[in-house]
A and B are shown apart, each in its own frame.
Chain A
Amino acid sequence: MIRVSANPVVDIVAKLVTTAALMFAFVFVVMVPLYNVLCDALGINGKTASSAYTSVPAAVDEDRLVTIQFVATNNDGMPWEFAPSQTVMKVHPGAVNDTVFLARNPLPQPMVAQAIPSVSPSRAAEYFHKTECFCFNQQPLDGQASAQMPLQFIVDQDLPRDIRTITLSYTIFDVTEMASGAIAAR
């Protein structure tokens, strides 16, 4: 064992203080990133990858049909009208699918929204690839404006056979303040 000091009391105190400091750092540099990595990889909480999926799947599995169910939720204090254009889609694993979500800002002033995706069952999350999604970026909308927000996705061919329905939920948050803060900070 490394000795920090010839005085054994100073030695142990130095080691313990270091341990405490490392444990504090551990929360930020290990626990938080590790949790996010695990969530992305294993779909804990139904989190899906936060950036576009790029690798192209090999073949379309014409024999299987998976039901994709879309759900939209407004978070507290978010007045936008926000809904999927179609609530259910039947897709083949491997195929590229497109749909849109409809949004409208009823307020007179411009607002910025962030949609947060969540997939259920959570073990399906790692097989649900989004090649394009409005949730990758914050979405600004002028007062009283409407928009069609596109989503393009592929269900992996390796999706376990027993999963026949996947629910994709978007919760939309008002991040106008956060976004303006970021602009002001720049």
Chain B
Amino acid sequence: MCFNAKRLSKLALGPVLMLLSAFALANPEVNQVNMAPGVTEVGKEIYDLHMIILGICVVIGIGVFGVMFYSIFYHRKSRGVTPATFHESTQVEILWTVVPFFILIGMAIPATNTLLSIYDNDDAELDVLITGYQWKWKYEYLNENGENVSFFSNLRTPQSEIYNTEAKGEHYLLEVDNPLVLPAGKKVRFLITANDVIHSWWVPHLAVKKDAVPGFINEAWTRTDQTGIYRGQCAELCGKDHGFMPIVVNVVEPAEYDDWLAGKQAEQAEIAALMAQEFTLDELMERGEAVYQRNCLACHGANGEGGVGPAIAASAVATGDLSGHLEIGINGVPGTAMQAFGGQINDVEMAAVITYQRNAFGNNMGDLVQPIDVFNHKKGQ
């Protein structure tokens, strides 16, 4: 099925289209064999270019292999042929040097045009800073008044699906807790960088792939009129969980985007309010388990048994001095894989996960940490 989505939407077939596109946009499709044209102008240009070059290659291939197989069938010794003795022909050799050269020029022209449009970053209506972390993405919506909305986007697929103890969901490995939400029809500029090693931000349907290099900033852009959920993955080997840091982009109508952004801002305010709240142990344990699975499990193990990082069960840190434990959680351990989570998860989450670590896996410390404790620790009390 091949149709021009833009033209259809002009025919005011919006709702029908949404239904169709939701169907067409399972991405990637099951057993998909070709590049997806995607939902952006640039993506379609790239797709066309890909198909043109593939077509040229197939035609040349048929020609070359045709001659070769003709030869294999007719010029075989068993047919009693006498071999010819020719071994050069200047005209033919010049011909097959010059002709490919012109074919290449024919390919280079559209390729150059497409490349120039990929590099046309000007006049974006929205800037999003994307930072690659081992092994998650951080999105920050840059805002003129300095009230940036920012959040981390982690793999949502549970370990039980990865380790085959539960049936795998439809979006196995391509689902996150907080997707990147973008408004349809607006030019969005991505500023891409990394926190540790090189990552690469790739969403095939948006035709964006750009390396995230620590210390440097790269640019890319996209604009699509077609709402929907687009899925991608990190494309540059970045260590152990390179295969487990997907990207999900949710393109919505601008009004919906505004609501969402307002919601995110409210959420940040709400977290500020939660800061003042006192939680019970059960509440903290419940929140903490979720935070642990997202942020700690990859290195410290599902049961706190350790792995890349040391064990948490019966560890000196988790069963020792509370402020020492907070210190490591907030500021990390420089020179090791233990990151400074103080800037990555909010104080409520930090309080919850520290409480969880101190009371799960047989670490029955019984003490609990409130968000205000985390806040005070950060302020150096």
Residues of B with C-beta under 8 A to A167: 127, 191, 217, 219
CB distance from B123 to the nearest CB of A (A): 7
Residues of B with C-beta under 8 A to A176: 334
**Interface hit among A10-18, A22-30, A71-79:** A71-79
Residues of B with C-beta under 8 A to A71: 129, 142, 191, 217
The interface centre, meaning the residue of A75, A162, A176 with most chain B CB atoms within 10 A of its CB, is: A75
Contact B217 A144 (CB under 8 A): no
Q: Taking A106-B380, A116-B215, A121-B121 as contacts, is the C-beta distance between A75 and B195 under 8 angstroms? A: yes
A157 at interface by CB-CB < 8 Å: no
Which residue of A73, A86, A107, A122 is within 8 Å of B193 (Cβ)?
A73
10 contacts between A and B (CB under 8 A): A46-B217, A73-B129, A73-B193, A75-B196, A76-B195, A87-B142, A121-B219, A164-B123, A167-B191, A169-B217
Contact A74 B195 (CB under 8 A): yes
A177 at interface by CB-CB < 8 Å: yes
- One digit per residue, 1 when the CB lies within 8 angstroms of any chain B CB and 0 when it does not, for chain A 136-164 equals 00000000100000000000000000111
CB-nearest residue of chain A relative to B333? Answer: A77
Determine the distance from Cα of A169 to Cα of B191 in the docked complex, in whole angstroms: 9
CB distance from B367 to the nearest CB of A (A): 22
- One digit per residue, 1 when the CB lies within 8 angstroms of any chain B CB and 0 when it does not, for chain A 79-119 equals 10000001110000000000000000011100000001011
Given contact pairs A75-B214, A87-B142, A144-B380, a sample of 16 additional A-B residue pairs in the complex whose CB atoms are under 8 Å apart: A46-B216, A71-B191, A73-B193, A74-B343, A75-B196, A76-B196, A77-B336, A79-B331, A79-B332, A87-B146, A106-B330, A106-B378, A107-B331, A167-B219, A169-B193, A174-B334
A45 at interface by CB-CB < 8 Å: yes
The interface centre, meaning the residue of A45, A77, A163 with most chain B CB atoms within 10 A of its CB, is: A77
B111-163 CB contacts (< 8 Å) to partner A: 121-124, 127, 129, 131, 133-134, 142-146, 148
CB distance from B196 to the nearest CB of A (A): 4
Chain B: how many interface residues by the 8 Å CB criterion?
A: 40
Residues of A with C-beta under 8 A to B335: 77, 177
B340 at interface by CB-CB < 8 Å: yes
Determine the distance from Cα of A47 to Cα of B379 in the docked complex, in whole angstroms: 34
Determine the distance from Cα of A120 to Cα of B339 in the docked complex, in whole angstroms: 27
B316-348 CB contacts (< 8 Å) to partner A: 330-336, 339-340, 342-343
Sort chain A's interface into a size bin: 35 or more
A131 at interface by CB-CB < 8 Å: no
**A-B pairs with lowest CB-CB distance, top 8:** A76-B196, A79-B331, A169-B217, A118-B217, A79-B340, A116-B215, A118-B216, A87-B146
Determine the distance from Cα of A126 to Cα of B279 in the docked complex, in whole angstroms: 53
Determine the distance from Cα of A165 to Cα of B333 in the docked complex, in whole angstroms: 37
Residues of chain B at the chain A interface (Cβ within 8 Å) = 121-124, 127, 129, 131, 133-134, 142-146, 148, 191, 193, 195-196, 213-219, 330-336, 339-340, 342-343, 378-380
Residues of A with C-beta under 8 A to B193: 73, 118, 169, 171
A46-80 CB contacts (< 8 Å) to partner B: 46-47, 69, 71, 73-79
A28-54 CB contacts (< 8 Å) to partner B: 45-47
